[in-house]
Structure 1
Amino acid sequence: MDRFTLLSKKKIKDTFPLDFYGEDGSWRFIIRAEHPGEVLDAMYWRAYISCHRKEFDLLHIATGKFNYKYNYSTADTSELHFGTGGSPMRINMMGPIVPISAILAKVAEQSAPKSA
């Protein structure tokens, strides 16, 4: 084995787990690929869940959480007591980290025929 093959295998190993960030409005989530064979599935499901968020309960299959800041601004006069009208507020939020294996298992479970 030459040194280039060894170098590239080490480099690939160091990049996993690989996170794919998705979002639906202000709500964000991570789909995590644990190894190279899960990357395409993670990319597909990140995009699909971003568009069909109400079909998935990611909070119950999440294995972790991450913090992020959301810039919220409104010109609605009923919300003026939150800050100065129209100026953005930074809100700390948490999003779920979901491994792609959990999503694939859930989809397989839902698509399996129910036995009587």
Structure 2
Amino acid sequence: MASSIVLRITCMVLISMMVCAPLAHAAISCGTVQSSLAPCIPYVRNNGSGSVPPGCCKGIASVNAAAKTTADRQAVCECLKKAIGAIAGANPAVIAGLPGKCGVNVPYKISTSTNCKT
């Protein structure tokens, strides 16, 4: 009788772990990406003149550090592609050069033509 209860509890724990585990590893939201990179908008609209705002570099570094898994990096990439198209007057070359100016190594080119699945 006791072993039956232990077996049932063990099964319930395993099922719970399998159901909850994917939720714990969800990709970074676009909202997080957009709010982290919002300080970059004036710089990219101003054609990259002046120095990159410190908040912009901090946002780029934090998003890059948070994107630990392939799914996270793909989600960030897709968010960036959408955001680039939504920023009126932004220079794509300036946007693509931001990580380098901030000393952050992003593993893909930031561009609307980037294939985020690869």
Q: Is the shorter-chain TM-score for this pair beyond 0.5, marking a shared fold?
A: no
Q: Name whichever structure is richer in helix by fraction.
A: 2
**TM (normalized to structure 2)?**
0.29
More strand by share: 1
Task: Please report the TM-score for the alignment, with normalisation by the length of structure 1.
Answer: 0.29
